[in-house]
Amino acid sequence: MSAWFLPGLLQLVVAVTAFGPKDYLWPLPQSVNCADTTTYPINQESFKFVGAGPGGQLVPLTQAFQRYRRILFKSPSTARKDVKRSHDSPSDFQLDMLIVEVISADASLTAGTDESYELIVTERNGGHLQATTVYGALRGMETFSQLVLQDESGMHYVTSCLISDKPRFQYRGTLIDTARHFIPLEVLFRHLDAMAYNKFNVLHWHIVDDQSFPYQSYLFPNLSAEGAYDQNHIYTQENVANLIEYAKNLGIRVIPEFDTPGHSHSWMAQRDLLTPCYSHREPNGTYGPINPILESTYTFLASFYKEISDVFPDQYVFLGGDEVNTTCWLSNPDIKKWLKEHRTEDPLALMQYFVTRLTEIVDNIGKDYFVWQDVFDYGVIPHPNTVIGVWKNWEGFRYTDELVKLTAAGYKVVLSACWYLNYFSYGKHWFQYYACDPQNFTGTAAQKELVIGGTAAIWGEYVDGTNLLSRLWPRASLVGERLWSNMNDTTDLVSATTRLHHHRCRMLRRGINAEPIEGPGFCPDVYVPPI
């Protein structure tokens, strides 16, 4: 790939006077070499994307060609007022195509998929993008699209640059919660679009919780029939399949979370699954976490997770394990008897038993799994291959201390503790998200390598389809850059503010209702219609 980066660039044509090309890039690539602030004209009528190499005709790529043509060539009414021609072209050169070469014909998308790419745009070489996988090519096409600008006359230009890029972390996720409030499918699709514009690659779908069970199981239809808010607020398996396919064509994996044994009140339709709570030796009519001592529990979970593995093809499933209230367990006479028979009074023995049984079930269907940090904090010893989500960050639960403990024990970790975007405050508060570095904790280099990435999380207590996108974006963009870009190159807040403003305006042009990052200000080329 380095053969493309040839010396002696020829005379370039059009200068961007207001900003340099790096001011438009988000997340910032690992290596950007734009020799000067010059650009080449693009003829909208003749320009084309051309697939090359063994993977040049894969569906994600051919779909991306269509998608980015729509994105790039908009009406002159959306002209970029910050792009001005500095002089007439001294040559007849214009960029007529971007050749996208994909070395591998393998379209599988896994935790280890290579997302690197190299992009060259020069007069000598034209436009050439090369990637090992089709998903690396998608990341490169996003970068290319950010280099294309439009002047007030409607003419498009692309900046001459040499870019070599790859993600800093393999896991770059967003978490959405569709249980507290149902999120319509069309909003989820737009969210996936926004993820692609920011080079995220994992959607952590917290699909059910205490409040509702909107997932439609065909084996256990009563779960959604009785657990959803109503039958207009469910996701059928066809809905899920369409979402997963759409996400894959954007290079995004979908990992579902069915939280157990707590956060499971909406599973009530599965009879005898939840633990009856007692007061004064009598059932009090309430129910606690999933009952861990009944064999029927594991018979059900084996069938349920087998169906989940068929519907969600990703190698991973998120098993939960957080915030388990053991009070109900200890009130139940059958569970107290079980504890006595096992010579313990510690309810965490039930957690160890439940987690062991559940992970055996998931192992048997060939899946790997995530759990929340609570499982480890309870003293449960998860399987060594378990990936652990770190989410707590308050007095007594500093996430940096948790990272030290978990990585010292040899576990892979995904961090979300400093990126809970459902919390909101007035003013310019985004710096706190940008300051978080997943590897900024006391530990060896080997320990820090076990932090495989992070997640921008938005829980649904006060979020639904009306505000999900505006609440998330562009604040999640900060997480995206932190997980993709070199930390040392992205500490300048002045530069970040400029780039994030341009990126927010770009997302608005692309139909993502991203909120302002600071005030006052405006996007000169964007008209936001009144409600």
For 140, the token pair is 């490169």
Residues 183/215, Cβ–Cβ less than 8 Å: no
Residues 396 and 230: their CA atoms lie apart, in Å, by: 40
Specify whether 323 is catalytic. yes
Q: Which long-range contacts (CB under 8 A, 24 or more apart) does 523-531 make?
A: 524/81, 524/82, 525/78, 525/79, 525/80, 525/81, 526/78
For 134, the token pair is 């089709």
Residues 62 and 52: their CA atoms lie apart, in Å, by: 11
Q: Which amino acid is at 145?
A: S
Residues 509 and 531: their CA atoms lie apart, in Å, by: 17
3-state helix, strand, coil in the chain (%, to 5): 35, 20, 45
Residues 192/176, Cβ–Cβ less than 8 Å: no
Pick from 211, 246, 247, 243: which is nearest to 228 by CA? 211
Residues 453 and 56: their CA atoms lie apart, in Å, by: 29
> Burial of 448 by CB count in 10 Å (0-12 exposed, 13-18 middle, 19+ buried)?
middle
Which residue out of 245, 323, 360, 518 is catalytically annotated? 323
Pick from 29, 38, 51: which is nearest to 115 by CA? 29
Crossing angle of helices 185-197 and 493-509, in 10° steps, is: 140
Question: What is the CB neighbour count within 10 angstroms for residue 146?
Answer: 19
Residues 481/26, Cβ–Cβ less than 8 Å: yes
Pick from 203, 201, 199, 247: which is nearest to 478 by CA? 199
Answer whether the bond into residue 184 is a cis peptide, omega within 30°: no
Residues 399/348, Cβ–Cβ less than 8 Å: no
Consecutive H or E run containing 174? strand 171-177
Answer whether the bond into residue 7 is a cis peptide, omega within 30°: no
For 202, the token pair is 């994992």
Residues 311/237, Cβ–Cβ less than 8 Å: yes
Q: Is 203 helix (H, G, I), strand (E, B) or coil?
A: strand
For 290-303, letters b (16+ CB in 10 Å) and e give: bbbbbeebeebbbe
Residues in the chain: 531
Active site residue ranges: 323
